[in-house]
Chain A
């Protein structure tokens, strides 16, 4: 049993220690002390890429999401002499920071990095710079590991998120160009014309709300809905105007036009405030959806189980009087190679095979970023059998129309949208009225990771 005196003694000891710490702290604060950040991650150029001792027979660890897992397993099957550990993880989807968290830890412990990893473009922003002064940037510059001719084979602009300070840090897996999905069977049955402009889209929504209540022509409740709608509208929500300077201007007409277009549709319920991927969303009530190329197989076929031959894709919507079409991009994965790999040769080989080999890409789950692979993919009937029309031309055209003003940033655009906008929409507020709160949320996120935020 502790005696009260020792408790008292201990307590006063603690108070003394605390007081001492405070005094020292205050003294140091007054005398002026070192900066709280290391000051290297933002300002200095990435430290030189130092290879680990190479061993051509060293096993490589590959991290993939469940969607790309079969591709990696296929590679292993065809290359049995390569020793591979295949690990499934969330693939950094929906703003997950699992990979970043793990790499931070591996950087501190000095081991454990995967050799090849599937991730989202956002990850390149932190993986291309060291996480601490003593660490080496996780991503290896692939331009030093893969032939230049291979890199030139990717669709225009698709490697842009990979490029930092003149180096390319990833290979793009797929493009997720936003198109207009619609249920052709229902549209024909009800005698509706497929809209080509946003104004027609709005008019159709109002018609659907009146004539077929319960059916929707879109949803804004997913973590990535802003990329389908506001990116397509060329809204400068997160535009890098200089290194580390981010333009966030949701009061721009390019943003408000989309908010005021959607508000009446949200009010009459022809655009749902739930997400398409919300548990229990009724897919049979979806007449149209503005969304990425992977909606076809992953939303309509797998999640909604819409029968084959009903769903078709149309070109991205434009605004009245708009000369050049623009569209958004929802995800689209990348592959990175670890700069710590002991077997860069094998790591580069598997990453290259996954992103460029026709054999793999013709049966890829999503639209390949590598041009030859995309052509093979579109030529493969399996990828198109499900649809009511040939989606090839729509996909090919939209892939070149992705607006480049929505920058790849160090924070995920899913966080401000999901935290600031979606709960307010659920509570019944209008998008237009939420724009200022969204602006603040994006600016706060941006500042917290070191961007200077401007509105011009």
Chain B
């Protein structure tokens, strides 16, 4: 029996987890900062570590949290939209489109603003292309949408591979880091955070309708859901959330696929709880992963996408194996 009280308790616990992840992100790094110094810096006292905490680590943690949350939210929405547990935010070619844009900018050594701009443009172009093609005959079925998305993604993958193979040696590292997902690019954190707020405000009122949508289109319609409108809205919302995350941090894999499943295994499939819980868990996971990425072989940095997979895979397999069949 789903109740508000249970949802509030679970969300409060996840909020604590998210705060803990921030705490770790602010303390750890190539220059460790003591907890008291972090607190002092946050309270506005100028200590020696204040710059590191406020200028470097906090913006990066905020960006990481927002991107992880957006990806997890988009993944949960895509899984309902396609009624397919294997769906993730990238399955419909959004990251492919963004990748083509970003690789193009990086290939010619354009400045950061152009990388971001072209990545976002590429993501939007892929989104409109998939929508246009899948909607072509008006049927707009899950299968058609999925097939169109997968093919567009494959096409984008080929273009990315082409650009990688003709790129100059010294640009390759930056391109690879972008493709694996990297929070060290210095992109502003607030667009992603703003998008997260908007996405949650838009999605949550429809959460119970999403529960029904997951059970079938006609079923949902018979129970009083305006199915077509809802599906357009989710597609748009999930795509934009993905596009903003990818623009901010590159295509960080795995968060969008695994976090909704992790949360589902732990607390069930009620979207009213699943959507905000996925956002919190996804954000916390990405902040922790990025902290590790900065510290394991400091001062060298790893792309965070590698870490999300390395943390997420065993965690997921563990939860899956203890699930009673």
Q: Say if A and B assemble together.
A: no
Chain A residues engaging chain B, CB cutoff 8 angstroms: none
Chain B residues engaging chain A, CB cutoff 8 angstroms: none
